[in-house]
Amino acid sequence: MLHRGQGYKDMEVGRPVYGNNKLGKSMEEDRVIEKWRLKQKIKDKTVYTIWFLLTLLPLSVILLNAGDMPMGTQEEAWCWMYGCWCVYLLVPLMGCFLPRFQAETLPRIANVVSAVLMLYGIIEAWWGLAQLWGWLPSNHARFAVTGSFANPGPYSGFLAIVFPVAVHECVYWYLYDKKCWNFLRCMGWVTLVSLLLVLPAGMSRTAWIAALVSAGYVYVSLTPYTMAKWFGPYKKITWTIVAVAFVALVAAGSGLYHLKKDSADGRLLMWKVAASALQEHPLTGNGWNGVAAVYGQAQEDYFAKGDYTETEARVADAPEYVFNEYLQVALAWGIPVLVVALAVIGWGIYVMHQYLECGLSGGLIAFAIFAFASYPLQCPALVSTLALLLFPALVRLLRPGKIKNLVCFSIAWITCIVCVELYLQKEYIAEKYRLWSKSQVLYQAGMYRQAAGEYRKIYENPCYAYPWVDWNPRFLFEYARSLHKIGLWDESTVILKEALKVSGDPMILNLIGKNESAMYRFDSAERYYRRAANRVPSRIYPYYLMVKLFSYPDNYQPDKLREAARVVLTKEPKVPSTAVRQMKEETRKILEEKQIEL
């Protein structure tokens, strides 16, 4: 039988034997052999322990707190992740030319990776349960369960990725190794029970689907002969079960859609708009930080045409991501890069399947499914998880042979150099964000002149080593708003146009319109307000600004004023708030003052 960790090419070779009792012709020789075996066992345990501790490093980013960084930024987490991977890669780098390291240690890395994933899965699961029971605070005001993540989406995605790893340990124990209870088996059962307790509370439909499909793949992969037996003598029963299962899946899919219907409709709209945006630069892309801006412009163009449904207008928003990493990667770097990325993940699944490491290949499948309707590549913890899932497949390339080892050695060195470069880049950005966080105190206190001065120091002191680094759109917006508040409208508009290169937020267009209005450029202000209204049709604020614009004595236009006021007073907001009520009341006062009836 082909055992776990043994490839199809390794069946005849088998496991090397370092001792032979037939040679022990005397008690003294037997004692020497036993002593040698014990020493070898201690060495192996020591190596595995070191590997386990080292493998904890890449995923330690999960537990990292943002500290003194502005809310919503993750630069410190990216720094930590790149630094950990640089250290982690040095070990196989140094062991590339050690035959024993290649023969014994590297093939078992899959077991170590599985153990680390399950350990972090247990930590996150019980963290979430403690939040659910009220013992620990949530990291999001609107959701009770987030684990150590910022919101339940990536949290549920991580749990879904760990789920097939735990299923693999449990199924493998039940089918092939029931008498043997070891560390991995115990961890598998504890992880599986923990995940089943907390995963439903995350309310992530994509994570549920990813967990179920990947777990089904693991079971089918480990029980091929059982499945063949069922499809032999019990064909009618089997096909009946398949038909019932198909109907149940359709019903479950319909139920999941209606569970959070607006969320599903919003994702469908995002994919539709992103696919249309992809037509502009399908081969080269628009850069990772330019995706939001390209999407915002595409959505504005889509609604400006007028060919949309009321549902689309209601669920439209200004997302930072398109909630589909395949479209995100294609928009950022082009379709060729997307094809290469899919090929790498597919190759990782194939290699792990060949060596019966179905838990890790199932984790890759879960990641691929979760990436279809979420944003795992925006989260350092999930990016590190993806790299860790691929790592055991990559080390399988280390086979005896100088040329292949030299290639792997070169790849490892290049990867380390890239990690160092990315670490330095993210550390530079993180330092800027720390200064921004300190300056935010002035901005939030309404001390706009002082805030503008501090923001100017940060903005006008770039690092010449990283001229391609884009600014955070929130930083640019706060800087521009501070300039607007102190009357520097032209400077504010320059900064806002810079922000439009990295964001699709209609508030940027609204603020440009306010700058233009303050400088009596009323036609230009109206154009920007209408662009903002087209970008996210459900928002009332652009129409409220147009009400004020058309009511100015120097720009009084009663017909346009009436049209904008009708929208403000009749449009229902997605989320009722005090600000919306105030806008409606002020619009009524303007209509009374101008003696205009709707």
How much of the chain, in percent, has pLDDT values that exceed 70?
80
- Cβ neighbours of residue 6 under 8 Å, at least 6 residues apart? 14, 15, 355, 356
Alpha-carbon distance of 121 to 151, in angstroms, equals: 16
Q: In whole numbers, what is the pLDDT of the chain averaged over residues? A: 82
237 has pLDDT over 80 = no
Alpha-carbon distance of 280 to 80, in angstroms, equals: 35
Residue type, 563: E
Alpha-carbon distance of 142 to 160, in angstroms, equals: 22
CB 545 within 8 A of CB 510: yes
CB 165 within 8 A of CB 363: yes
Which contiguous run of DSSP H or E holds residue 191?
helix 183-198
Least confident of 190-204, 457-471, 563-577: 457-471
DSSP 359-413: HHHHHHHHHHHHTTSS-GGGSHHHHHHHHHHHHHHHHTT--S-HHHHHHHHHHHH
Alpha-carbon distance of 491 to 483, in angstroms, equals: 7
Alpha-carbon distance of 333 to 161, in angstroms, equals: 25
Over residues 70-74, mean pLDDT:
68
| Domain residue limits, the chain | 54-106+405-445, 113-239+355-386, 449-538, 541-597
**Which of 323, 327, 399 is CA-nearest to residue 107?**
399
Least confident of 102-111, 430-439, 529-538: 102-111
Query: What local confidence, expressed as pLDDT, does residue 17 receive?
Result: 44
The pLDDT-based confidence of 49 (bands split at 50, 70, 90) is confident
* CB-count exposure of residue 555 (10 Å: 0-12, 13-18, 19+): middle
The residue with greater pLDDT, 174 or 398, is: 174
7 has pLDDT over 80 = no
pLDDT in tens, 352-370: 888 888 899 999 999 999 9
CB 159 within 8 A of CB 152: no
Three-class secondary structure assignment of 63-111: HCCCCCCCCCCCHHHHHHHHHHHHHHHHHHHHCCCCHHHHHHHHHHHHH
Alpha-carbon distance of 507 to 504, in angstroms, equals: 9
HSE toward the beta carbon, residue 334, CA cutoff 13 A: 7
- Torsion, CA 28, CA 29, CA 32, CA 38, rounded to 10: -110
In Å, how far are 54, 475, 496 from 447, measured between CA atoms? 48, 16, 20
The residue with greater pLDDT, 75 or 449, is: 449
Query: What local confidence, expressed as pLDDT, does residue 451 receive?
Result: 92
Least confident of 4-8, 155-159, 415-419: 4-8
Alpha-carbon distance of 15 to 199, in angstroms, equals: 39
Instruction: Return the CATH number of 449-538, one of 1.10.443.10, 1.25.40.10, 3.30.450.20, 1.10.150.120.
Output: 1.25.40.10
DSSP 230-248: HTTTTHHHHHHHHHHHHHH
- Torsion, CA 349, CA 351, CA 356, CA 361, rounded to 10: -20
CB 117 within 8 A of CB 385: yes
Residue type, 301: D
Give 540's DSSP letter. Answer: S
**Which of 79, 42, 141 is CA-nearest to residue 428?**
79
Buried b (16+ CB within 10 A) or exposed e, 319-344: bbbbbbbbbbbbbbbbbeebeebeee
Three-class secondary structure assignment of 277-299: HCCCCCCCCCCHHHHHHHHHHHH
Q: Any alpha helices (H) in 471-557, and if so which ranges?
A: 473-485, 489-499, 506-518, 522-535, 541-551
Give 140's DSSP letter. Answer: B
Among left, alpha and beta (phi > 0; psi -120 to 50; other), residue 165 is alpha
pLDDT in tens, 259-274: 677 778 888 999 999 9
Alpha-carbon distance of 14 to 409, in angstroms, equals: 26
19 has pLDDT over 80 = no
Measured distance between the N- and C-terminal CA atoms of the chain, rounded to whole angstroms:
82
Q: Which two tokens stand for residue 459?
A: 């903005």
- Cβ neighbours of residue 355 under 8 Å, at least 6 residues apart? 4, 5, 6, 7, 107, 110, 396
